[in-house]
Structure 1
């Protein structure tokens, strides 16, 4: 069985389909999605519908992102977070125009089944953004950091590349897990359209919401698969630019 981790999709259904075709997934494979399925391109509702159907055929784990929380709240009681509206929420709301009340309810139930994080049998952590507790995710007090934290990634980037885990100055946050896979912070901010590694952390958000690509990685071989840049797939749209 191969295990793939998939970065932030942000309403780019065309990119997701292209990526999965490139990966040539089989029913023996496992797919771990890092969240932010909505907000950006015009097919957010369609992405959710596709993922729900994908789960019926393949082994899938869905991590929840901050954009997914905003969409979930809107589906549940009509709440429109102002930040959500200007950061892709408007396009997501419009993508639901042709969905029935019953279909929206099924999507809401799907959002509620998403995980805050996932820890596999090889002690690899999958989380949307990060965490702040030096004792690991299980001891996190403010679980909202799972969806919004950037300090974990910033800390990893600031580390000396040669520092080892047995060094007394090695950050305690990074000692708990063999590897950590995150999204949330686009690598294109660092002039990279590829997944980035810092210490034991892999950042899989390669800017699909903006000018970048949707990416996946085989977590055992570290082989990377990518879609075309999203603006090329949606030439009449602006995404979240």
Structure 2
């Protein structure tokens, strides 16, 4: 039913025990065992800010895993060097021609087929080099995102699901999907085919991108016409654009918003 809430992270993590029934590559039915709680059960209080509890939900921490504010790319932390090196390679290599080539190759969707949960489990193998806030496997990020959204928007079940699947495109890092380098998979996205904006993270590295010096692509609108719409704009290639290409007509077909959130 449309009003059925998204299962909690704890329920999802028990999928294998409950023998999930997979019905198609991009649609999953989960058989959920409904727990019974005594009305007088002792209230569980979160001791750890990131702990998931039955009655308290996900608690959003005030700082990242390193004690800094979120998305602070200049903070002196053990992640700073890795993140900046990632963006230097990413900004140099993400060209209009590269994006066209990758969209053509991966738009065929001929790599493999697997369920959503199988994709989520693949991400347990990877840590995102572009993320200054987290050095844990991506499966943690997906579950944290879904739980945080569910806490803030309890009635928007489509948004909870969007949070859970928004980074599934990072399976491109896996050999089953081509084992692309991190610079071609993760990181913040940005339009290609037009001038690079200085608001992009570590924008100074764009100066070494061939398109930066190409008059066809280094103007405000570049290869596009004003007001053409986001669906006509090519974004840097990676997990977001791949997830946008993978979308199925039968999957979240009721809303356009999830796919533009994914493409962003």
Q: Which has the higher contact order (CA 8 A, sep 6+)?
A: 1
Q: Which has the higher strand share?
A: 1
- Shorter-chain TM-score: which interval? under 0.3
What is the TM-score when the length of structure 2 is the normalising length? 0.23
What is the TM-score when the length of structure 1 is the normalising length? 0.25
